[in-house]
Structure 1
Amino acid sequence: MVSFSDIVSNVGALLRQRTLGRSIVLLLSVAILLLLIVNATTFVMIQRTAAFNDQVEAAWQARRSGRLLLLNLKDAETAQRGYVLTGLYSFRMEYDRAVQANAYLVDTLAERLGNDPVDVSTVEAVTRLSRDKILEMGAVIALSQTGQGQQATRRIAQGGGKALMEQLESELGDLDRRMGTRLAQGRAQSEGSATFTAVVNGIAGVLILLLGAVVFLLVWRYLAELKDAQATVDRVNAGLEETVKARTAALVRSNEEVQRFAYIVSHDLRSPLVNVMGYTAELEQAGRTIDLQMTKVETVAPELLERDALTAAREDIPEAVGFIRASTEKMDRLINSILKLSREGRRNLVPETLDIGGMTERIADTVRHQLEATETEVVVGEMVPIESDRLSMEQILGNLIDNAVKYLQPGRPGRIEVNGRDLPGGWVEYAIADNGRGIAEKDHERVFELFRRAGRQDQKGEGLGLAFVRNSVRRLGGEVTVESVPGEGSTFRLKFPRRLILDEAGDAL
């Protein structure tokens, strides 16, 4: 995982290089920084503009509340005079409605003005004057209701109510002018903020366009240089491709020569080996004949028999013949194994869709007697199909299952599990796990080498099985690895392409 310090180190190394890439990175960094500054400035100015707009809205609402309050009191005064002059109940209803609305309008005005000392003083004065005005109008209404119309008219003519209304108009007029001033200031500030934001964005846009033009020119120059470099690479690749083809052909020829050499050597070694085995049989027969003759001599004339000759005939010669026979048999097995590897390398692969689960179960059936003798269980889990060479896959799985059975841990029931799964990228993995002896970590690679074995050598074998497995797996385009802990068991993992692709010769690409 790449750490932050690695990123900083790589960026620092890039900036120290005088390259086109560094120039582009620097210009893009400046453009990004400029965008961040513009965004931050725009955000701040938008917040300020919003605050100014809130102030404008608050001043306008307060101004409107003051005017509504004054209009409501004038409506109440008009309805009061109409009722006194005419006695009509509709005027009384209009008066009552205006009086009831007064308290709400005063509270609304106080709420919209806030805590400014001047505004608070205005609200107190308006509250007191509107209350006095309503009391004065109520007294006049009461006189009119009791039939004292002339006294009510005279009370109105005295001008007490008019004086209160003039004071209210004065207070609310001052408030209206203050609110008008605040509205003008708020609008001016909002417009100034919007203008500043537009100017900043305009300047930033011009600078970004200039940086974009410079980056475009640098990229255009870089692409031109890249095109020239690509042409050079294409010329080099053209020659390199021919070289690779020639070397690949030489390698194929060398591999074929090695396989032919292994076949010829194995075939030529077999002829003298057969002779040695034949003469060993004759020597063994001759030894038995000599032993019979010496037995007769020992019976008829024992004094003529040499003890050393008798020991040689009866012990030394049979022992030597036995060693020769064992060595020739081992050499015969090694030659057969080499021939098998050579033939497998020359065989053309034939891809087909394979049921690996069914194949594994059939292979397990071939060693059923060994499994029952060791109380071993073979579990075939979920498998995935694959398109590959049938014979190669049977030999690979057969060798691995045979090995698992051969190297089980004595004294405990054996268990062999075979599972498969899909891997990303068009690959398939099969795992053959056992609870056997296990393999030491230092031998994990060694067990795949020719004639090399690991652990106790108490089982028959020449050390060719896993070498054959690796060779076959590689021919199919895959790889084999082992995970193992001594005393706990081993897991061989086979990784193959889901679909085997062959060249014209029938070998995997």
Structure 2
Amino acid sequence: MIPTTRRQWSRFQNFVRTPSLARSMSATLILAFGLLILVNATTFVMIQRTAAVNRTIEHDQQMRRASRTTLISMLNAETAQRGFLLTGRGDFLQPYRIAREEMRPALALLDQAAVADPALRRAVDEIHRLAGLKWAEMDRTISLAAQGRIGQSIQTVRSGEGKRYMDDLRIAIEAFDVLKSGKIADLQKRSERFALLTVAMNAIAGVLVILLALLSAWMVRRYVAEIERARAVLDAANASLEDKVKERTGDLMRANEEIQRFAYIVSHDLRAPLVNVMGYTSELEQAGKVIDKAIQEAEKTRAVDAEVVTAVREDMPEAIGFIRASTEKMDRLINAILKLSREGRRNLLPETLDMTAMAEGIAKSVHHQTEASGARIEVQPLPEIESDRISMEQIIGNLIDNAVKYLDHDRPGEIVVTGEDVPGGWVVYRIADNGRGIAPRDHERIFELFRRSGRQDRAGEGLGLAFVRNSVRRLGGTIDVQSELGKGSTFLLKFPKRLIVAEPGVAS
């Protein structure tokens, strides 16, 4: 780790010390990014300050409205008071009560302002005092009128005491409003200054960015010219390299064809002696039955050696059974090799495939198995693909068959087939199950020929996934597995959206 870090540091130092167009462009870009970060930071600070000033202005406006609400509520209450005194009707007191309720939150808001700004405490206290005196005067007159002492109540009103309180309250509120108006005007000027400063910073940054853009364009033009010169040299070198690549590709294709022919010939030649072994095994079995019948006839007249009886009736059938099981397994392996060989020689025929219909058809073909085990297969809408139909059916079919085969019988089986288009002209399909799962150490091993993982309690020779991976690669795709023991597996298939066949049977 340390030597690698030192090498990287040394390369960076050489890059910084050596004058080059790349270094100049890097410095220009760093300067441009630094300038943008500075402008953004300054603009952010200005915006935050402007927002704070605007919030303060809004708060001060609320204070002005609260003071006006106090005055209006008092006027409404005074009007209701005089209406009651003149008419004696109780419904005139309803606006009086409403006015008192409306004034309480306004006074509470003024108290909050005084707590936040001690300079307002004196003005707010004065408003509180006068409002309290006025309310006391009105409550007193209303109480006297309610007791039937109308004359005394009218006399209190005529004394002018309430009018003085009201005039003083109006003057106090006007003074508070003037104080707040002056503060709001100052704050508005400050907000305008912040806005002008923000505009100026953005204008300066815009000019600098334009200059840097022009400089970068000039440097990029030089850089492109250098690239064009280098490309011309590279094209000259590639002219001969392409011929070599074509030659090597042809050799590789011929070698692959030779391998496939060799596998076919070997498998075909192995089948001949295997058929003979299987035939002679049947003859031995028939001969054993003839001998057993002769022993049965002989046992009717005399005793037959026990070892002969055991050899004919137990040892020979057991040996023949072992031979037959081995030959049948070898026959399956040879068939698998032949299948791989034939698939490798088959020409691919691209066509547009409805993958949703294909997957649903495969799911229906195994319905009897899933129904018997209480499992279900869910096929969600899948994107279409242009590829080889036979290969895709074999791939999806093998994976769904495997998912059904290795379901966990301790819980309801669930297999979900999904897919989507991905950027770059690719499509991804997923086949997920909640089966037995695969140990991490076997994630690659399961794709090898004749290799299996986990408990060997299900029929199979370890050929299916090897065949699937070979088919996926022929279609230009990849296959991966995500799995955990006891939780299930997800096979991920990634294919080009459109299969292009460069040579017969070979996908490019």
Alpha-carbon distance change, 284 to 501 in structure 1, aligned in 2, over 3 angstroms: same
Distance in 1, matches of 2:371 and 2:254, equals 48
Does residue 442 (structure 1) correspond to residue 452 (structure 2)? The answer is: no
8 Å Cα contact 2:353/2:385 also seen in 1: yes
Tell me the distance in 1 between the aligned counterparts of 2:34 and 2:380. 60
Counterpart in the other structure of 2:71? none
* Matches of 1:9 and 1:29, distance apart in 2: 21
2:485 is aligned to: 486
Distance 1:281 1:419 in 2: 49
The yes-or-no answer on 1:329 pairing with 2:328 is: yes
2:479 maps to amino acid: V
The answer on 1:399 being equivalent to 2:398 is yes
CA offsets 1:209-257 (integer angstroms, 9 cap, x no match): 9x979x979985x777655543432232122111111110000001111
Compared CA separation, residues 364 and 10, structure 1 to 2 (3 A): farther
Is the contact between residue 428 and residue 494 of structure 2 (CA under 8 Å) also seen in structure 1? yes
Equivalent position of 2:264 in the other structure: 263
Q: Does residue 299 of the first structure (1) align with residue 300 of the second (2)?
A: yes
2:18 aligned residue = 18
The higher radius of gyration belongs to: 1
Aligned to 1:274: 275
Separation of aligned partners in 2, 1:230 and 1:508: 29
Paired residues, what number?
Answer: 332
Unaligned runs of 5+ residues in structure 1 are 40-200
Q: Matches of residues 342-421 of structure 1 in structure 2 within 5 Å? A: 342-421=341-420
Counterpart for residue 469 of structure 1: 468
Rounded to whole Å, the distance in 2 between the matches of 1:256 and 1:287 is: 46
Q: Distance in 2 between matches of 1:382 and 1:392?
A: 20
Displacement of 1:378 in angstroms is: 0.7
Structure 2 equivalent of residue 230 of structure 1: 231
Identify if the C-alpha distance between structure 1 residues 405 and 30 changes in structure 2 by more than 3 Å, giving closer, same or farther.
closer
Counterpart of 2:287, as a letter, is: A
Quick one: structure 1 residues 15 and 247, their matched pair in 2 at CA, closer, same or farther if it must change by over 3 Å?
A: closer
Quickly say closer, same or farther: Cα 1:463–1:31, change in 2 above 3 A. closer
Task: Write the distance in 1 (CA, Å) between the matches of 2:10 and 2:20.
Answer: 16
* Distance (Å, rounded) in 2 between the aligned partners of 1:218 and 1:358: 52
- CA distance change for structure 1 residues 297 and 388 in 2, over 3 Å: closer, same or farther? same
Provide the alpha-carbon RMSD of the alignment: 3.4
In structure 2, C-alpha distance between the alignment counterparts of 1:29 and 1:393, rounded to whole Å: 49
Kindly provide the amino acid, as one letter, of the partner of residue 20 in structure 2: L
For 1:452 and 1:266, locate their aligned partners in 2 and report how far apart those are by CA, in whole Å: 19
Contact persistence 1:475–1:507 (CA under 8 A): yes
Partner of 2:143: none
Provide the secondary structure at the position in 1 that maps to 2:476. coil
Pick closer, same or farther for the CA change 1:338–1:23 going to 2, 3 Å: closer
What are the within-5 Å matches in structure 2 for residues 75-474 of structure 1? 226=227, 229-302=230-303, 305-474=304-473
Q: What residue identity is the alignment partner of 1:349?
A: L
Q: Residues 284-315 of structure 1, C-alpha deviation per residue, up to 9 Å, x if partnerless?
A: 1111111111222233221xx33222211111
Report how far residue 18 of structure 1 moved: 2.4
- SS state of the match for residue 277, structure 2? helix
Residue 346 of structure 1 aligns with an amino acid whose one-letter code is: R
Asked if the contact 1:477–1:496 (Cα under 8 Å) also holds between the matched residues in 2, the reply is: yes
Task: Give the match for residue 96 of structure 1.
Answer: none
Displacement of 1:422 after TM fit?
Answer: 1.1
Cα gap change, 1:447 to 1:27, in 2 (>3 Å): closer
| Alpha-carbon distance in structure 2 between the residues aligned to 1:453 and 1:498 | 31
For 2:507, what is the secondary structure of its paired residue?
coil
2:127 maps to which residue?
none
Segments of 5+ residues of structure 2 without an aligned counterpart are 40-203
- Could you tell me how far apart the structure 1 residues matched to 2:439 and 2:29 are? 55
SS of the equivalent of 1:503 reads: strand
Cα displacement (A) at 1:17: 4.8
**Once the two structures are aligned, what percentage of the paired residues are identical?**
59
Deviation at 1:331, TM superposition (A): 0.6
TM-score of the two chains, using structure 2 as the length reference: 0.60
Decide whether aligned partners of structure 1 residues 435 and 30 sit closer, same or farther in structure 2, where only a CA change above 3 A counts. Answer: closer
Instruction: Output the amino acid matched with 1:291.
Output: D
Is the Cα contact below 8 Å between 2:345 and 2:505 reproduced in 1?
no
Secondary structure, aligned partner of 1:499: coil
Preserved contact between residue 24 and residue 218 of structure 1 (Cα < 8 Å) = no
Q: Distance in 1 between matches of 2:220 and 2:486?
A: 65
**Which amino acid in structure 2 is aligned with residue 271 of structure 1?**
A
The alpha-carbon distance between structure 1 residues 31 and 346, as it changes in their structure 2 partners (threshold 3 A), is closer
Q: Distance in 2 between matches of 1:333 and 1:31?
A: 70
Amino acid at match of 1:274: V
Once the two structures are TM-superposed, the CA of residue 361 in structure 1 deviates from its matched residue by 1.0
| CA gap 1:391/1:299 in 2 versus in 1, 3 angstroms | same
C-alpha distance in 2, partners of 1:240/1:22? 28
How far the C-alpha of 1:384 sits from its partner, in A, is 1.0
